[in-house]
Amino acid sequence: ADTEGDEGEGDEDDEGGLAAAAAPNWTPGCVPVEALSIILFQCRSLERILSEQVISLSGEASQSAPLQPERVAVEKVLKEFPGPQAVDTYWYKAGGDGSRELHYRETKMGATLVARVGGRLPECVALFKVAVEAALPGMYSWFEDSSLHVTLRG
């Protein structure tokens, strides 16, 4: 995820790098979704799109906690990388073909339903990017902020 700009720069007192970024003092973030977009894209990162139809959502935003089946689905994803002790598993999965920059930026036509979140992510995401860049300078390529999204699946 690319958060262009200087967010987090000048945080020289952040001595922990990635370890500090993973510290439990992070608070969960919530990104309100006011609209969904049906997008015809030219690449999976959505940095190049052919067409976008925005569908405004109406009604009052839900303030309730996610339902149990939703929490179970999230926990299943998070268990794949339970923490620093699973770094070898992470690197193996991160090195797969679907995890490489070219997979997301090469020409690949398709359609998707997304909630755009660029410019509205919780601060912890920007702090994570800063920590990764400090610990592993130039190792990761970040997507353009305007392309950041959450894909909805049925």
Rounded-to-integer distance, Cα 154 and Cα 140, Å: 30
CB proximity list for 35: less than 8 A, separation 6 or greater: 54, 55, 56, 57, 115, 116
147: which DSSP letter? G
Residue by residue, pLDDT tens for the chain (154 residues) are 443 444 444 444 444 444 444 443 334 667 888 899 999 999 999 999 999 999 999 888 777 777 899 889 888 877 877 777 777 777 677 666 667 888 899 999 999 999 999 888 888 888 989 999 999 998 888 999 999 999 998 7
Q: How many residues does the chain have?
A: 154
Q: For 13-109, list the strands marked E by DSSP.
A: 35-41, 49-56
